[in-house]
Amino acid sequence: MAAESDDEEEERIDKAWEDAIRKLLPPGAPLPDEDHLDYSIAVDIDGPPITHPIPALLAADPPPLDLDSLSLRSSSLFSLSAPLSSLPVRFSRASASRSFDEGEEQDNYEEEEGELQSCNSSSVSADNRYENKDENEENDNAAAAAAAAAAEKRRRGRRGVCGRCGKGNLLRDKEGCVVCDSRYCRSCILKAMGSMPEGRKCVSCIGKPIDESKRSSLGKCSRLLRKVCSPLEVKQIMKAERECAANQLRPEQLVVNGRALKQEELGELLGCQFAPHKLRPARYWYDKDSGLWGKEGHKPDSIISPKLNVGGKLQPDASNGDTQVFINGREITKLELRVLKLAKVQCPQDTHFWVYEDGSYEEEGQNNIKGNIWGKASTRFICSLLSLPIPPGDRYKSTDYVPALSSRSMPEYLEQKRAQKLLLLGLEGSGTSTIFKQAKLLYGSKFSEEELQDMKHMIQSSMYKYLGILLEARERFEEETLMMKKLSSDSDVSTSDSGETEADESKRSIYSIHQRLKHFSDWLLEIMATGDLNAFFPAATREYAPVVEEVWKDPAIQETYKRKDELHCLHDVATYFLDRAVEISSNEYVPSEKDILYAEGITQSNGLASIEFMLDDQSPKSDIYSENLDCPPPLTKFQLIRLNAKGLNDGCKWLEMFEDIRAVIFCVALSDYDQMCSQGGSGTLCNKMLASKSLFESVVRHPCFRETPFILLLNKYDTFEEKIDAVPLSICEWFGDFSPVRPHNNNQSLAHQAYYYVAMKFKDLYVSICNRKLFVWQICARERNTVDEAFKYIKEVLKWEEAKEENMYGVGVDSYYTTDVSTSPYIRRE
């Protein structure tokens, strides 16, 4: 092993870092405190290439910083111009990801996190994932004590410095001990950890149990270790870290059905075909007959191999259910009951079911199999949405399932791996379905024949809907105009000679259409009034296509369309589709990708939609590598669930159905700031941005999301940019204090300043509600690459949050909130 760094190199790196930051700041501005580096608003916009020389951050290994390759342009950094020097540095993590040396940046990121949490000593716990107090008390064992000692050490020590030499800063690669979390710089790691017979542990920690919060990182090598050890050494160290006796879960750390396991039970549990994944020291319940498995006091978490001889007897209150419906003696939870009802299982109170491992069930004592709970695809879909388990493999399909004790194959393992759920929400028209469809096109499967057919009907129906809105408005405008005409002609009555032609003329206006089209119009409006549009179309689509085209081209309708800003329900895609009425109406029409993206909605019913996809876990920002350096990066499974705005009515009741949401992605259309929509049943008009704000608030306040990170996607930047010069942002009363810096004082465009201001308004609102950090990203959902970038950012945020949860890096939350909007230079100060 060879440690090459020395003090001079350290100093040089510090200096290079400072230089790089200084270049991003206006001349003379002070360097921001490391605590104030903030990655939570992301911008990625075009701008002139950087003109200053590129600093060589890291000279030899890895390669030097290459700003040119990064699209990190001077204009993509906001809040860095002269009047902003008081602000913390903020820049896009995605842009940054392309700007910094990978490992360096990832560690910076983690270290910053680590930094932040240490300010909040109360937040440090052995494992903040444990959900109940009892568990914490139970787990008050050596590992927890070690973690507490480590936390104390972190609190005492100066942040970011090496635990041995005391040098360095937050931004430098460091490696931590898996027992006490002391962190060492490149120069000291080998001296502090020796030959690492049990993996990354200080010499004094060898033999001690690991800090449980680090279990998931066992065997995952960091970049720093790869710098100081050869690949073979890294492999051996990682193997030892995973496999050595001191680092294994101990049987007494697992309590199943109220009894701590014995060594042989632990062996049976870990060696079975469908073992519980991510086992941690905790109390679990296990239903041996069905294989259902969960944390004590909670709903089932997975279905593992049945009939294992582990733990005590399953208790009725194991999952804390209160439904008076029992499965194999356990009172089930409300969520399970809901699924049973959706699966059409009759379950009045005091029903006791026996459920077998394949999902077949019978009422206790009746000896008569009534059906299979998981037999229907719709039930499995609902289970997957509600984070309830379904039997692994095809168990629910066959009754002759024979548990095999070995041969756990990789695909089965992957199938069991739980998808990370992302809930996508937003006001109607904010762009959620466009994002959903982009994700499907980017990462999922192609649209099937059936989906395309559905999309085609959706587009055809929408086309008639747009036409109906226009025809209705035309009638109104015609009436208004004729009324005005009449009023003025009444006042001119003494001077005019009344004649027949004039009387006719007084019944016509620019909004009048030909009598033939009028019949069609009346008929269509009548159908729309009965709410029967979808039932009638698209069957009649082809027949009426020529009339639709004629109506659309009629001057009266074109005049009406000119006043589209007054038609709040008319979407701007109306012209995109109406211009092609005949083509779209034909039998042969197949929607193009562009049509699919421009169409409103995902399916005709446009309700709940969900897709699963895998994203590779490796990112330019990550320094976690699997032990096998040659194997492809691990994949993370995501489930994107899109709930449309209608599903959020009724006080967001639907949201209760979603547990285990890893992140809420809230979408807001930036261009909504001057738009109106009708609110609730009353039909009163309300500014759309304010409606978004109030929806956002109610979702953030929802008890289900108390611990869930939020990512705000500010969409439709393209339309926003187009209109911001003509329509002041302050037209929306929430943005009344927007005060842009004049262009000659500042090289940020007005749209850019306004975007930043809106982001800060939402961040500030979020902090005021839940005192947490809101992550913000800008997109144009119709442009695929911006959605791709957004998902990369979301993936990073999740990793960041995970690192925080696992309490790996000793972090505090306070300095997140230095982004107080009152410091924004774009706000007028009285």
Ligand X SMILES: Nc1nc2c(ncn2[C@@H]2O[C@H](COP(=O)(O)OP(=O)(O)OP(=O)(O)O)[C@@H](O)[C@H]2O)c(=O)[nH]1
> Annotated binding residue at 572?
no
461 close to 527: Cβ distance less than 8 angstroms? no
Q: Count of CB atoms within 10 A of residue 745's CB?
A: 12
> Annotated binding residue at 605?
yes
Q: Does 610 bind ligand X (CB under 6 A)?
A: no
Question: Which is it for strands 609-616 and 635-642: parallel, antiparallel or unpaired?
Answer: antiparallel
Instruction: For residues 370 and 43, give the distance between their C-alpha atoms in angstroms, rounded to a whole number.
Output: 57
Instruction: For residues 782 and 451, give the distance between their C-alpha atoms in angstroms, rounded to a whole number.
Output: 19
- Residue 436's contacts (CB-CB under 8 Å, 6 or more residues apart) are 424, 602, 609, 611, 640, 642
Number of amino acids touching ligand X (CB under 6 A): 24
Instruction: For residues 764 and 817, give the distance between their C-alpha atoms in angstroms, rounded to a whole number.
Output: 9
User: Minimum distance from CB of 540 to ligand X (Å)?
Assistant: 24
Find which of Mg ion, ligand X, none residue 781 binds, CB within 5 to 8 Å per kind: ligand X
613 close to 647: Cβ distance less than 8 angstroms? no
User: Minimum distance from CB of 649 to ligand X (Å)?
Assistant: 12
Q: Which residues make beta-bridge pairs with 284?
A: 256, 295
Q: Does 597 bind ligand X (CB under 6 A)?
A: yes
Q: Does 432 bind ligand X (CB under 6 A)?
A: yes
User: Minimum distance from CB of 720 to ligand X (Å)?
Assistant: 9
Find which of Mg ion, ligand X, none residue 718 binds, CB within 5 to 8 Å per kind: ligand X
Per-residue contact string for residues 762-781; x = within reach of ligand X by CB under 6 A: ------------------xx
User: Minimum distance from CB of 589 to ligand X (Å)?
Assistant: 18
User: Minimum distance from CB of 426 to ligand X (Å)?
Assistant: 5
Stretch that binds ligand X, among 104-112, 327-335, 444-452, 600-608 (CB under 6 A): 600-608
Q: Does 528 bind ligand X (CB under 6 A)?
A: no
The residue among 403, 333, 393, 326 whose CA lies nearest residue 364 is: 326
User: Minimum distance from CB of 683 to ligand X (Å)?
Assistant: 18
Applying the rule CB under 6 A, the residues between 563 and 592 that interact with ligand X are: 571, 573
- Binding residue for ligand X (CB under 6 A) from 715, 746, 815, 819? 715
> Annotated binding residue at 649?
no
The residue among 514, 592, 601, 588 whose CA lies nearest residue 553 is: 514
- Report the residue number, 74 or 606, with the smaller CB distance to Mg ion: 606
Q: Does 600 bind ligand X (CB under 6 A)?
A: yes
Per-residue contact string for residues 622-661; x = within reach of ligand X by CB under 6 A: ----------------------xx----------------
Q: Count of CB atoms within 10 A of residue 555's CB?
A: 12
- Report the residue number, 76 or 433, with the smaller CB distance to ligand X: 433
Q: Does 595 bind ligand X (CB under 6 A)?
A: no
Long-range contacts of 336-342 (CB under 8 A, 24+ apart): 336/299, 336/300, 336/388, 338/386, 338/657, 339/373, 339/379, 339/382, 339/383, 339/386, 339/388, 340/373, 342/378, 342/379, 342/382
**What is the token pair recorded at 592?**
């193009």
Alpha-helix runs per DSSP H in 247-306: 263-271
Find which of Mg ion, ligand X, none residue 716 binds, CB within 5 to 8 Å per kind: ligand X
**What is the token pair recorded at 382?**
């609902």
Q: Does 438 bind ligand X (CB under 6 A)?
A: no
> Annotated binding residue at 718?
yes
User: Minimum distance from CB of 602 to Mg ion (Å)?
Assistant: 7
- Report the residue number, 538 or 601, with the smaller CB distance to Mg ion: 601
Q: Does 737 bind Mg ion (CB under 5 A)?
A: no
Stretch that binds Mg ion, among 36-44, 598-606, 706-714, 721-729 (CB under 5 A): 598-606
Instruction: For residues 498 and 506, give the distance between their C-alpha atoms in angstroms, rounded to a whole number.
Output: 11
Q: Does 718 bind ligand X (CB under 6 A)?
A: yes
CB closest to ligand X, residue no:
433
Find which of ligand X, Mg ion, none residue 645 binds, CB within 5 to 8 Å per kind: ligand X
CA 598, distance to chain mean position in Å, is 22
Find which of Mg ion, ligand X, none residue 573 binds, CB within 5 to 8 Å per kind: ligand X
Tell me the torsion sign for CA atoms 801, 806, 810, 814: positive
> Annotated binding residue at 715?
yes
Instruction: For residues 178 and 201, give the distance between their C-alpha atoms in angstroms, rounded to a whole number.
Output: 6
160 close to 111: Cβ distance less than 8 angstroms? yes
Instruction: Work out the angle at residue 632's Cα, subtended by the Cα atoms of residues 57 and 620, and round it to the nearest 5 degrees.
Output: 25
- Binding residue for ligand X (CB under 6 A) from 184, 598, 735, 762? 598
C-alpha distance from residue 666 to each of 38, 602, 721 (Å):
20, 17, 21
Angle of the 784-805 helix axis to the 102-118 helix axis, nearest 10: 50
User: Minimum distance from CB of 626 to Mg ion (Å)?
Assistant: 39
Instruction: For residues 211 and 126, give the distance between their C-alpha atoms in angstroms, rounded to a whole number.
Output: 7
- Binding residue for ligand X (CB under 6 A) from 106, 222, 434, 807? 434
- Report the residue number, 328 or 644, with the smaller CB distance to Mg ion: 644
> Annotated binding residue at 694?
no
User: Minimum distance from CB of 424 to Mg ion (Å)?
Assistant: 11
Q: Does 465 bind ligand X (CB under 6 A)?
A: no
The residue among 89, 80, 107 whose CA lies nearest residue 35 is: 89
Stretch that binds ligand X, among 227-235, 425-433, 527-535, 818-826 (CB under 6 A): 425-433
- Report the residue number, 32 or 601, with the smaller CB distance to Mg ion: 601
Q: Does 534 bind ligand X (CB under 6 A)?
A: no
User: Minimum distance from CB of 826 to ligand X (Å)?
Assistant: 23
Size (the chain), residues: 830
DSSP 402: -
CB closest to Mg ion, residue no:
433
User: Minimum distance from CB of 431 to Mg ion (Å)?
Assistant: 8
User: Minimum distance from CB of 30 to ligand X (Å)?
Assistant: 37
- Residue 34's contacts (CB-CB under 8 Å, 6 or more residues apart) are 112, 115, 160, 169, 170, 171
- Residue 477's contacts (CB-CB under 8 Å, 6 or more residues apart) are 509, 511, 559, 560, 563
Instruction: For residues 243 and 237, give the distance between their C-alpha atoms in angstroms, rounded to a whole number.
Output: 10
- Binding residue for Mg ion (CB under 5 A) from 9, 66, 600, 617? 600
Applying the rule CB under 5 A, the residues between 71 and 130 that interact with Mg ion are: none
- Binding residue for ligand X (CB under 6 A) from 465, 716, 763, 799? 716
Instruction: Work out the angle at residue 758's Cα, subtended by the Cα atoms of residues 756 and 759, and round it to the nearest 5 degrees.
Output: 65
Per-residue contact string for residues 429-448; x = within reach of Mg ion by CB under 5 A: ----x---------------
- Binding residue for Mg ion (CB under 5 A) from 306, 601, 740, 810? 601
**In three state form, how does the secondary structure of 113-138 look?**
HHHHHHCCHHHCCCCCCCCCHHHHHH
> Annotated binding residue at 66?
no
Stretch that binds Mg ion, among 100-108, 408-416, 593-601, 698-706 (CB under 5 A): 593-601
Q: Does 606 bind ligand X (CB under 6 A)?
A: yes
Q: Does 454 bind ligand X (CB under 6 A)?
A: no
Alpha-helix runs per DSSP H in 252-315: 263-271
Phi, psi at 677, each rounded to 5°: -140, 160
Stretch that binds ligand X, among 60-68, 283-291, 345-353, 714-722 (CB under 6 A): 714-722
Residue positions forming the annotated binding site for Mg(2+) = 433, 605
Residues annotated in the binding site for GTP, as ranges? 715-718, 781
In the complex, which residues of this chain contact ligand X (CB under 6 A)? 426, 428-434, 571, 573, 597-598, 600-601, 606, 644-645, 715-716, 718-719, 780-782
Q: Which residues are annotated as a binding site?
A: 433, 605, 715-718, 781
For Mg ion, the binding residues (CB under 5 A) are 433, 600-601
